[in-house]
Amino acid sequence: MGKTRGFSLAEMMIVIAIIIIIATMLFIFFAHARDDAAVTGCEMNEQRIAEAIESYAVDHQGQLPPSGGTVNSAIFGGPGNPYFNNDSLVDPASGLPYIYIAGPGMCQNPDAEYQIIDQGGHSSFSLAALLAGDNQQDSVAFCSDRGLYAMQSTGGGGASATKPQN
The whole-number pLDDT of residue 133 equals 62
The whole-number pLDDT of residue 156 equals 44
Measured CA to CA, the distance from residue 80 to residue 145 in angstroms comes to: 28
Where exactly are the structural domains of the chain? Answer: 9-151
Mean pLDDT of 83-105: 91
Q: pLDDT tens for residues 126-166?
A: 887 776 566 678 889 999 998 999 888 865 444 443 333 33
Q: Is the dihedral of CA 87, 137, 128, 30 positive or negative?
A: negative
C-beta neighbour count of 44 within 10 angstroms: 11
Identify which of 145, 144, 127 has the alpha carbon closest to the alpha carbon of residue 136. 127
The DSSP string of 15-50 is HHHHHHHHHHHHHHHHHHHHHHHHHHHHHHHHHHHH
